Amino acid sequence: MFVVEDNGYAISVQTPTQTPGADIAANLASFKQLTIWDGSGTEPSETADLVIKAVEHVRAGKGAGLLRLTVPRLSGHSSVDNQAYKSPETLAAEWERDPIPALQRYLVPELMSEDEWTGLQADIKAEVLAARDAAMAYPFAESMSVTERVFAVQGEPQLIGGLVAEGIELPVGNDTPNPPDPRRLNMLEAIRRTLDVELHVNPRCVVFGEDVGMKGGVHAATLGLQATHGESRVFDTSLSEEGIIGRAVGMAYAGLMPVPEIQYRKYADPATEHINNCGTIRWRTNNRFAAPMVIRMAGGYRRIGDPWHSVTSEATYVHQPGWMVAVPSNAEDAVGLLRAALRGNDPVIFLEHRAMLDASWARRPYPGDDYVLPFGQAKIVQEGSDLTVVTWGGMVERCESAAAELQASIEIIDLRTLMPWDSGCVLASVQKTGKCLIVHEEIEISGFGAEIAATVAKEAFVYLDGPVERLGAPSVPVPFSTVLMEGVIPQVDDIRDRMGELLEF
């Protein structure tokens, strides 16, 4: 049931400028399975009749409804809005439509006496003032509590949203790989297999997005899942990222585990407001509501570039409160992190790097149906004592290749998740090596590498034998040309040279 109190203004802008034809109800008249009631909100008998019809219609399960009531806005939009943009004639006309006097004229003397009306007014005023006084007397929260309830806390379930609120517990799993066979899967197949297993394990898990159904996704990550689990569990949506994420929030409230797919990282931008709001639900409601979900999105360079399909910008989501962020570099980690996200109680951004989806280096044996990799647990790809290299996603392979070209003992750390990130692992390594290089393909300015560098500079300053270095992309879009793209995305030679410079410092 949608109710629109149409007062004709958006602060100072009048409806004809805001809404074509100045009537949102008329604009939605062609929507199927949407019944519309349109009338005045200032005429008691008409208003009551419309409200009763609309409510009965929706409660009877006859479909969605929209009730538009035209009402005057008798005060400003906010305390600083004096409505100087309204003429005296307009203000007078609006006060003539004040619904309270209209209600009085309707009730008195037909349904109640003047004294009864006066008594009713007094009772309501007393009730409002009592509510105000109770609100004013309510103590403020302690300022130190402002950082609480951003993420789920074990043993403190939310009241509404996600599986936890429904009292549903999924298998815990473990972080020890147990490959059923030695065959190496590419990351794409690993993701598909994990989704298939979790759709079986959790009947409330639903996978959806553009082209994920019959086609199996533009990257083939959901290929065959609709045929196995049915159209109610794996289904296509319209081309509306905002609608996809908005729908996912509603599903999470209803106790489902939604897994929306955004085809490319840059495509998520239209859904920015929904994503931001979703991350703050738990905090804004003091743990009453939550909307756990896993947003899968591909990104990063692959063969050719362009400003819309080759973007990473993972720091955007790390900067949004309430979101966990996973950036696996290989098939095994993708399985463990995706399963942890699907069985978790927080919203997760799961970034699937396009270059690693079918890369030979990223292939690993399937670690088993019980493999769950905790967030915030980095992996030391190779140990070393001369230099610490911190990286993630598509840069891990390149850092490994660059290190192989140098006669030095280089420790490479794959963070695997950026929110939370394993600062303990990084700091322990820097204390051992005395030097740190951070490599990512995202734009270097304000990239996540800056957070790591700041932490190392503060927490491991006395151990450093050189400057904390970063290597990322220049502040330009990813170009189409592969030659130009190589000038943006860090190459193996670039990484090797920066390693060498820091080793010689």
SS3 49: helix
Nearest 5 degrees, angle CA 342-CA 322-CA 187? 35
Active-site pick, 219, 229, 274, 309? 309
Q: Which residues lie below 8 Å from residue 60, measured CB to CB, with a gap of 6+? A: none
What is the spatial distance between Cα 122 and Cα 118, in angstroms, rounded to a whole number? 6
How many alpha carbons lie under 13 Å from residue 188 in its C-beta half-sphere?
Answer: 17
Encoding tokens for residue 214?
């019959």
Encoding tokens for residue 471?
């290597």
274 catalytic residue (yes or no): no
SS3 244: helix
- Concatenating the DSSP letter of every residue in 272-301 gives HHHHHHHHHHHHHTTTSB----EEEEEES-
Phi-psi map region of 87: left, alpha, beta (phi>0 left; psi -120 to 50 alpha): beta
Tell me which residue of 448, 463, 388 sits closest to 417, measured CA to CA. Answer: 448
SS3 488: coil
Active site residues: 309
